[in-house]
Each structure stands twice: as structure tokens, then as C-alpha cells.
């Protein structure tokens, strides 16, 4: 029986979707959006024009992911390092772009039944940005479809530091460090992503082969897909291409080729 094409996909997306196995879609996709600056430079535009153009890519990717019922999508929007290493003007622009994005896109998120969340040290962002973020999260809180997580002021190493601190604090409140349990379950349970499954697939645009301090713990067994496409040109169709590539991979979790006894706990590949 021919699988049904989800409503809203265009003709090209439908063609790729029909070649996918709907039973083996990734449950969580993480994306490192990269290449906005290069996109702008190639057009002799200021860098911020690349960020502005990146919003259309965000919209298309989110909508396609929700339409094909991906349960969780996480986008790396601003790293902790971005604040420290970019010119003030660019950082200010990114902040106001985020506020405008949140204000404008909430109806689209609600129209697609998407619940918005964040990871990263939100309390270090400007108060106005924090307020807009809280507003958008509350405005989508009753949605029951895809969870869209924006990584904002995010660093994977900081996340692990925060998790360890939270574990120690909890142990002290619970009678002292004798009550501290340190194992993988405890660390996973204290990460910002504790309510999400680990990503099955991580996509990076613009051809760079790095994880750039993104979800280092959670990506331990993820399939990595790098596309040369610059982020402003990325669309839902490119997401489907990434999923198609993911479905060609053999996930072993350190097990053997036939997959027997494969589990995320074992090591080696």
C-alpha cells in the first residue's frame, strides 16, 4: 500500500517523502544552522542580511518537520560563544531578530500544533528577550505535536556543568554528598534536555565538520549529516534529504553489523 503524503508537503517534498520509511523517522532531529554570514558575503550584503534570510529557512524546516510528525526538533540558534566573539551590532541585531521572530511566528507554531521550548542560560539574556521568550513558550504550551527547542545562549559544556551543580545541590538538600549518585541516568536526568530523547540525527549546514559545543552528551550515538547548503538556502526538502540519508545508515550503537544485542550503552561505533 502506498503511504499517504502528509498534508502541506509540496510536490518535490512528497517525492522524497514517498521514498522514506515512515516507521523509521528520527524521533529527534538537531540542526546546527550555519552559513548565514557566507550567504550574505557572496551577495555583497551585510552579515545581518544572512541572519534575516535564515528566518525563512527556519520556518520551512519547522513546518516540514511538523507535517511529517517528527516528535522533536532542536535548532542551535545562538551559542554562548556567539555573544562573546561577535561584534556588538551583530549580537544586538540577532536579539531583535529573535524577538520579532517569536512575535510573528507564534500563530504559525500554533497552526502546526508545535510546542516551543528553550535550552541554554536564558537568565543571562537581556530582560526584554527573556520576557518575549516566556511569552512565546506560554502561548504554545497547550500544543500537543512537535516540540521545537531553540538553543539560545547555549553551550554543551556549560550544560554539563549546570547538571553536575544541580546534582550536588540536590544531594546537599537531601542530607549531604553521601546521597550523591553519579551515573549516566543521573547526568542525563539533569541536562536541559531531560524531557527529550537523545537526537537520532544531527544536521549541519554549510559543510563544516564540527559539533561546535552542541549537545555533546546527547549526540553520542547520533548520525551526522553535513550538507554544503548554506542555512538561508536550507528548506524542508533539504531536511527530507537528510532523513533519507539517515535511513540509509546502519545504526550499530557499538554492536555488530547484524544489529544483534545493539544498545546505546555499549561502546565502539
Single out the residue of 6, 16, 38, 254 in contact with ligand FPP (rule: CB under 6 A).
38
Output phi, psi for 178, to 5 deg: -60, -20
Looking at beta carbons only, is 66 or 98 nearer to ligand FPP?
Answer: 98
Site for ligand FPP in 205-264 (CB under 6 A): 206, 231
End-to-end CA distance of the chain: 35
Residue 36 found at the interface with ligand FPP (CB under 6 A): yes
Single out the residue of 30, 31, 58, 148 in contact with ligand FPP (rule: CB under 6 A).
58
Q: How far apart are CA 166 and CA 174, in angstroms?
A: 12
| H/E element, 151 | strand 147-154
Looking at beta carbons only, is 111 or 264 nearer to ligand FPP?
Answer: 111
Closest CA to 234 of 107, 4, 18, 63: 63
Residue 16 found at the interface with ligand FPP (CB under 6 A): no
Closest CA to 205 of 69, 6, 53: 53
CB-closest chain residue to ligand FPP: 37
Q: How far apart are CA 12 and CA 224, in angstroms?
A: 23
The helix/strand count (H/E) of the chain reads as 9, 6
Out of 36, 82, 117, 190, which one is annotated catalytic? 82
241 is catalytic: no
Q: Across-strand partners of 203? A: 31, 225
Tell me if 56 sits within 8 A of 233, measured CB to CB. no
Out of 10, 21, 34, 36, which one is annotated catalytic? 34
Site for ligand FPP in 89-128 (CB under 6 A): 97-98, 101
34 is catalytic: yes
Single out the residue of 35, 120, 236, 242 in contact with ligand FPP (rule: CB under 6 A).
35
Q: How far is CA 123 from the centre of its chain?
A: 20
Residue 37 found at the interface with ligand FPP (CB under 6 A): yes
Site for ligand FPP in 148-187 (CB under 6 A): 150
Half-sphere exposure in the Cβ direction for 240 (13 Å, CA): 26
Q: Across-strand partners of 205? A: none
| H/E element, 37 | helix 36-42
Single out the residue of 28, 51, 115, 204 in contact with ligand FPP (rule: CB under 6 A).
51
Piece in contact with ligand FPP (CB under 6 A), picked from 15-23, 52-60, 138-146, 259-267:
52-60
CB of 61 to ligand FPP, least distance (A): 10
Piece in contact with ligand FPP (CB under 6 A), picked from 53-61, 120-128, 138-146, 256-264:
53-61
Contact residues toward ligand FPP (CB under 6 A) are: 33-38, 51, 54-55, 58, 77-78, 82, 97-98, 101, 150, 206, 231
Please list the active-site residues: 34, 82
Amino acid at each position: 500500500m502506498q503511504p499517504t503524503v502528509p498534508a502541506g508537503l509540496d510536490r518535490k517534498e512528497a517525492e522524497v517523502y514517498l521514498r522514506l520509511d515512515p516507521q523509521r523517522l528520527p524521533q529527534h532531529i538537531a540542526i546546527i544552522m550555519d552559513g548565514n554570514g557566507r550567504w550574505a558575503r557572496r551577495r555583497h550584503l551585510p552579515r545581518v542580511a544572512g541572519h534575516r534570510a535564515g528566518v525563512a529557512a527556519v520556518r520551512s524546516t519547522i513546518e516540514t518537520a511538523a507535517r511529517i510528525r517528527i516528535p522533536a526538533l532542536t535548532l542551535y540558534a545562538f551559542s554562548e560563544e556567539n555573544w562573546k566573539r561577535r561584534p556588538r551590532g551583530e549580537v544586538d541585531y540577532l536579539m531583535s531578530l529573535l524577538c520579532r521572530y517569536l512575535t510573528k511566528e507564534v500563530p504559525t507554531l500554533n497552526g502546526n500544533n508545535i510546542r516551543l521550548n528553550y535550552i541554554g542560560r536564558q537568565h543571562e539574556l537581556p530582560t526584554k528577550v527573556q520576557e518575549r521568550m516566556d511569552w512565546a513558550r506560554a502561548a504554545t504550551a497547550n500544543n500537543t505535536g512537535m516540540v521545537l527547542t531553540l538553543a539560545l545562549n547555549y553551550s554543551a559544556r556549560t550544560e554539563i556543568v549546570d547538571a553536575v551543580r544541580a546534582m550536588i545541590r540536590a544531594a546537599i538538600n537531601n542530607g549531604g554528598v553521601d546521597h550523591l549518585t553519579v551515573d549516566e541516568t543521573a547526568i542525563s536526568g539533569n541536562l536541559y534536555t531531560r524531557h527529550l530523547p537523545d537526537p537520532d540525527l544531527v544536521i549541519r549546514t554549510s559543510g563544516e565538520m564540527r559539533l561546535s559545543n552542541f549537545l555533546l552528551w546527547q549526540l553520542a550515538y547520533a548520525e551526522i549529516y553535513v550538507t554544503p547548503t548554506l542555512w538561508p538556502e536550507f528548506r524542508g526538502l533539504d531536511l527530507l534529504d537528510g532523513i533519507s540519508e539517515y535511513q540509509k545508515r546502519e545504526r550499530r550503537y557499538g554492536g555488530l553489523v547484524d544489529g544483534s544485542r545493539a544498545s546505546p550503552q555499549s561502546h565502539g561505533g
